[in-house]
Amino acid sequence: MELKLKNKVFNKSKEKISDKEERFNRVSKKTNFVLNILFALLAAACIIPFMFVVIISFTSEASLTANGYRFWPEEWSLEAYKYIFSSGSQIIRAYGITIIVTVAGTLLGLTIMTMYAYALSRKNFAYRKFFTKLIFIPMLFSGGMVASYLVMVNFLQLKDNILALILPLCVSSFNIIILRTFFKTTIPDAVVESAKIDGASEWLLFRKIILPMSLPGIATVGLFLTLGYWNDWFNAMLYIDSSNLIPVQYLLIKLETSMEFLSNNATSMGANAIEVASKMPKETAKMAIVVITTLPIIFAYPFFQRYFVSGLTIGAVKE
């Protein structure tokens, strides 16, 4: 009798708690409407500036000079894109180099960092503390640009080599720590132990069980790597002299620099230079460069989005 009474009291208190949680989580129609308006404004604040950049890139230079920036220009033009793609095969080759570096670097970086982070996440790994400190030190201290350059050029002999665009960015201490934390909080020890009892080797366990369960975290780090490789131009400036190995970001920076130099020094370079500088789409070409470098990432992002959101929110709610 006493046990039934206790169960009855417990069930009532449980129902009260669930009712309170339901009332707390319930959103009124007015609040929902305000939140929708707020998030719509935030989305517009993110999308409208890029749309404005795209519109300016399709505006004629004369119309831009006469009327300024407008959402609906008086004269549309493709001169900025024609000017950028006038190099023809060079920009196509640069795009190819960028794609190769991005894909190869992302795959290599994910392979190295996932294996390293998984080893650090296992409590039975004997040298876990040592390798954790080893990867944590580069987050605090760095040899600097001169030391990095000497190692890449003199020691590794990677001057004018495509590996000079891949190796410096493929491993990141920050990404390893993210993956290590993801493995520790997401992969239950019971799953690992049961797989070992069934006779699975470490490699089979990692390949068949750990990787499929860790897709959100791996995709999140993969997106970081993809953005880093796609936007990288500094390593090309340091290590690449051959025009056949220049990535698209560095090529567009060189193009913009040459346009600025020609427009600023046209008067001292003769009548032909003045005529060429007057016909150059200076402002619209800058916007076209932004569009060219941003669009591939915008098209690639939806493929990462599902895993990216899961990777950021995993562990936030526990049952």
- Do 125 and 260 lie in one domain? The reply is yes
> Which domain-ending residue is among 67, 93, 108?
67
Residues 63 and 173 in one domain: no
Domain limits at 94? 80-313
Q: Which of 278, 259, 290, 292 is nearest to 65 (CA)?
A: 278
Largest Cα–Cα distance in the chain? 106
In a domain, residue 73? The reply is: no
Same structural domain, 235 and 307: yes
Answer whether residue 75 is part of any domain. Answer: no
319 lies in some domain: no
pTM of the complete model: 0.75
Do 126 and 232 fall within a single domain?
yes
Residue ending a domain, among 44, 67, 90, is 67
Number of structural domains the chain divides into = 2
Residue 99, domain member (yes or no): yes
**Distance between alpha carbon 210 and the CA centroid of its chain, in Å?**
23
Same domain, 211 and 172: yes
Structural domain contains residue 182: yes
Q: Would you write out the chain's pLDDT as a tens digit for each of its 319 residues?
A: 544 444 554 455 545 545 554 555 566 778 888 888 998 999 888 888 888 888 888 888 777 777 777 788 888 888 888 877 776 678 788 888 999 999 999 999 999 999 999 888 888 888 888 888 888 888 888 778 888 888 888 888 889 899 999 999 998 888 898 888 888 888 887 888 888 888 878 888 888 888 888 888 888 888 889 889 998 889 999 998 888 888 988 888 887 777 676 666 656 655 565 555 556 667 777 788 788 888 777 777 776 666 665 555 544 434 3
The reply to whether 60 and 84 lie within a common domain is no
pLDDT at 6: 44
Contact 245, 160 (CB under 8 A): yes
